[in-house]
Structure 1
């Protein structure tokens, strides 16, 4: 089977800035380059947001739906549609494959409609929403959220995850038919050649002075309290050390008030973002909730020395003291020690950075898009179709026992 017409259902999409939107954008670009027509159903992001017309954008089109802000993520929305409306869209679009990237109401409606029309939809486990709950005062719902997520994904033809670690974790929790489709890197955009001394001058950093860098959402689920502890430990020993944070989020005002010396660069995109990566030296990634962390591979390709936990993208692609400084998951003390070592041990830091650049160059988006397309094709095969058709009725029963 050759893909000709793919439907993508998601509650976040470009130009929104997050790993899911970035990944989906790369997959869509790759499919378009292969001559595949792609339709995206997504919430309207803002009042001026307009639908894309495939006649103008060469085989890409989208359908905008009403959305409401996600609690704790006011800049993101979940879509609200009826199952009847979604079924009508599937009948009108006639996709040969469906990919559902998010598990909210929009994805739920798409999954039910696909079931009715006997189309084997593929889902993606992009975000650990069950882990996020504890950071927004509803941690007591974590077991129920996980039960829903397991039901949602087990109802689909297959579930895509970004790492072997994520696959093993989900399988341990009762998820079935998981497949690894990793993430790539734009090596032309993210490169050590984008280093900009004028930008570093703005930060007050000399040519050979290492700069700490964080890129991402400035929010509790990113474990920024550890970033604050790391800053305190290093600035106590090295008062002139520079810390640059790229991004925005609810914790930005409190961090700025607590630590006036932190440099908040704001949200950056494209070439400007690439220059910020390459102009930093030590990339701090304290998160313990990410399924992957695209920022890690972007930092790798940009020539940064990675300081992270042995988790997600770092675990998938890096090795401790060979291509990065990695701490065991949950070992905050070691994370801080690694950050200090990266600052002090210049030769080791540079060697690790060079190794990570080489590793990043192997992460080719084109190959990953081809793997993604093969998975979509397989979802329509007889084997997957039978498995999908034989599943129980598409109804979530929270009172039922866990798998």
Structure 2
């Protein structure tokens, strides 16, 4: 069997109604598979105002706005229309990227049809409750995730550090890597634009600490702002540049009023924004990969990140950035202060990060997923299905 023989049913809880690293990766994967001659059908909640056009055929799944986070949709059920379309499409492999109710139903359907399932893990959902004073729910969510992923033939994570977490959580016996790529046409050191910086009142000599991503609390906005406070107490000269939008924007603006909020950027404008920073500060512990970290590295700027999944597989501590214990405000401030005050180290670490980013080619990365599909189909033809729960206890 070749890639062109694949018929992939892909379920996503968010394929294109919000622009983030996970669904952009899914769209890139669909595009790669279609270019190789495979058939791809995507099932996902939809809206009348998507963030971007979907790649491939998209079948809408019934959903409602998520309470308190209206930009997200919560899938409610697999409609009869979607079920009929799935039956007519006749997939020979399935991928699910969202561990919600419909994701469970998709896996059940695939098991009845004797179709192998690959689950891709894009975020650490079990860590989200701690940002909303609901940490007691984490074990419950982890148990639900484990039940789903053990019913799949294999799972893939964006980084080795995240894959190791999944192994330790006993989510599945077969855990692989589906990394992320970076568009070097968009993200490279040549995108640095001093005139653009000056338009915000940033002097050429002022070190810029950047934040890139959706403005939501689970991205570590509290740790970011506390660390900036520590720099101010030390009288460390710096500017803060925030690129992104989200429901916590007002909170973030109130917390660091001296920061420059450049809003949502995309394409070459995003590359210019990232390249015009002097360092990226990414305190989040919810990332499974950290696209923003890789994009900053490709632009030749050092990264100060939490020592967590994703970042640990990208940043080499003391070589291309700093990895700090999550929530350690003083240590984060120490790392930022070093880069603010020593342009030579900043340049050396940025150059090392750019060299490392050359290893991430989108076509090569997406081919590994296609090969995983083919392997799971061969295993199923030999009579091998998902490993039993008892085998991985």
Match of 1:395 in 2: none
Structure 1 position 255, deviation (Å): 2.4
CA distance in 1, matches of 2:388, 2:86: 21
Is 1:88 matched up with 2:84? yes
- Using the size of structure 2 for normalisation, the TM-score is 0.92
CA distance in 2, matches of 1:101, 1:86: 17
Distance change (3 Å), C-alpha of 1:299 and 1:286:
same
Distance change (3 Å), C-alpha of 1:299 and 1:24:
same
Q: Which of the numbers 234, 245, 252 marks the counterpart of 2:249?
A: 252
Q: Which of the numbers 170, 181, 184 marks the counterpart of 2:166?
A: 170
Distance change (3 Å), C-alpha of 1:387 and 1:138:
farther
Distance change (3 Å), C-alpha of 1:386 and 1:85:
farther
Structure 1 position 130, deviation (Å): 0.9
Distance change (3 Å), C-alpha of 1:385 and 1:152:
farther
Output the aligned Cα RMSD: 2.4
Q: Which of the numbers 190, 195, 198 marks the counterpart of 1:193?
A: 190
Match of 2:272 in 1: 275
- Is residue 212–residue 282 contact of structure 1 (8 Å, CA) maintained in 2? yes
- Secondary structure of the corresponding residue to residue 95 of structure 2: strand
Is 1:133 matched up with 2:158? no
Match of 2:138 in 1: 142
CA distance in 2, matches of 1:91, 1:268: 40
CA distance in 2, matches of 1:17, 1:325: 28
Q: Which of the numbers 49, 57, 60 marks the counterpart of 1:64?
A: 60
Structure 1 position 98, deviation (Å): 1.2
Range that drifts further, 147-156 or 223-232? 223-232
Is 1:27 matched up with 2:29? yes
CA distance in 1, matches of 2:89, 2:181: 29
Match of 2:40 in 1: 38
- Using the size of structure 1 for normalisation, the TM-score is 0.90
CA distance in 1, matches of 2:15, 2:214: 16
Structure 2 alignment gaps of length 5 or more: none
CA distance in 1, matches of 2:299, 2:52: 34
CA distance in 1, matches of 2:267, 2:53: 23
Is 1:372 matched up with 2:374? no
- Is residue 283–residue 304 contact of structure 1 (8 Å, CA) maintained in 2? yes
- Secondary structure of the corresponding residue to residue 70 of structure 2: strand
Structure 1 alignment gaps of length 5 or more: 393-399
Is 1:204 matched up with 2:201? yes
- Secondary structure of the corresponding residue to residue 171 of structure 1: helix
Structure 1 position 326, deviation (Å): 1.8
- Is residue 86–residue 109 contact of structure 1 (8 Å, CA) maintained in 2? no
Matches within 5 A, 1:226-237: 226-237=223-234
Matches within 5 A, 1:111-122: 111-122=107-118
CA distance in 1, matches of 2:381, 2:357: 33
Match of 1:219 in 2: 216
Match of 2:336 in 1: 339
- Secondary structure of the corresponding residue to residue 385 of structure 2: helix
Range that drifts further, 285-294 or 67-76? 67-76
Q: Deviations over 1:58-96 (max 9, x none)?
A: xx2111122122345321112223376554332111122
- Secondary structure of the corresponding residue to residue 315 of structure 1: helix
Structure 1 position 330, deviation (Å): 4.4
CA distance in 2, matches of 1:167, 1:29: 25
- Is residue 92–residue 116 contact of structure 2 (8 Å, CA) maintained in 1? no
- Is residue 207–residue 237 contact of structure 2 (8 Å, CA) maintained in 1? no
Q: Deviations over 1:215-240 (max 9, x none)?
A: 01212211111111121122344475
